[in-house]
Amino acid sequence: MYSEKVMDHFNNPRNVGEIENPSGVGTVGNAKCGDIMRMYLDIDENGVIQEARFKTFGCGAAVATSSMATELVKGKTVQQALEVTNKAVMEALDGLPPVKVHCSLLAEEAIHAALWDYAEKNHITIDGLEKPVNDIEEKLEEEEY
């Protein structure tokens, strides 16, 4: 059901772990629905993401999208990181089964949540960054009605 790339990122997740004193950290999802992602970013004085790490509670797709998201934002500027959308994460993983698309949304939200934290800590605004939805699963559930 999963692509080879998803399985590779699930089996050998890149950048698992924490960053001490991160420039930004964000947690999205909720345990009720079975997925939680936490992303840590280390951003230098030029606004370039030097390091990205994650911890995830969730299915194979949730782990793989977290892993891929950290890979995609590393070395990018804050502005470039905003372009790492759920679609970009999915494409980089050679696709996800339809029922797992929400995992890629969660990865995008995790990046945004970490960037939002960074912006707040540094009292800056990042163009195009909106306050992330904390609870993406609930948003999805509501959309079903």
Partner 1 sequence: MIYLDNAATTAVEEEVFAAMKPYFCEQYSNPSAIYSFAGKSMKAVDEAREKTARLIGAQPNEIYFTAGGSESDNWAIKAAAEAYKNKGKHIITSTIEHHAVLHTCQYLEKQGYEVTYVDVDENGVIKLDALEAAVRPDTILITVMAANNEIGTIQPLKEIGALARKNNILFHTDAVQAYGHIPLNVDELNIDMLSASGHKFHGPKGIGFLYIRKGVRIGSYIHGGAQERSRRAGTLNTPGIVGMGAAADLAAAKLAENMTKVSELRDYLIQRVLDEVPYSRLNGHPVKRLPGNANFCFRFIEGESLLILLDQQGICASSGSACTSGSLDPSHVLLAIGLPHEIAHGSLRLTLSETTTKEEIDFTVEELKKIVERLRSMSPLYEDFVKGGMNHVQ
Verify whether residue 59 is a known catalytic residue: no
Q: Does 27 bind partner 1 (CB under 8 A)?
A: yes
Give CA separation, 71 vs 31, 60, 67, in Å.
Answer: 24, 17, 6
Verify whether residue 33 is a known catalytic residue: yes
Q: Does 56 bind partner 1 (CB under 8 A)?
A: yes
Q: Which helix (H) or strand (E) holds 33?
A: none
Applying CB under 8 A, among 62, 82, 111, 115 the residue interacting with partner 1 is 62
Q: Which helix (H) or strand (E) holds 99?
A: none
Q: Does 55 bind partner 1 (CB under 8 A)?
A: yes
* Largest separation between any pair of C-alpha atoms in the chain: 45
Q: Does 109 bind partner 1 (CB under 8 A)?
A: no
Q: Does 32 bind partner 1 (CB under 8 A)?
A: yes
Of 12-20, 44-52, 85-93, 127-135: span binding partner 1 (CB under 8 A): 12-20
Note every long-range contact of 51-54, with CB atoms under 8 Å and residues 24 or more positions apart, other chains counting.
51/15, 51/19, 52/15, 53/15, 53/16, 53/17, 53/18, 53/19, 54/13, 54/15, 54/16, 54/17, 54/110
Least Å distance, CB 93 to partner 1, is: 15
User: Where in the sequence numbering do the catalytic residues fall?
Assistant: 33, 103
Contacts with partner 1 by CB under 8 A lie at 10-11, 13, 16-18, 27, 30-38, 54-63, 99-100, 137, 140-141
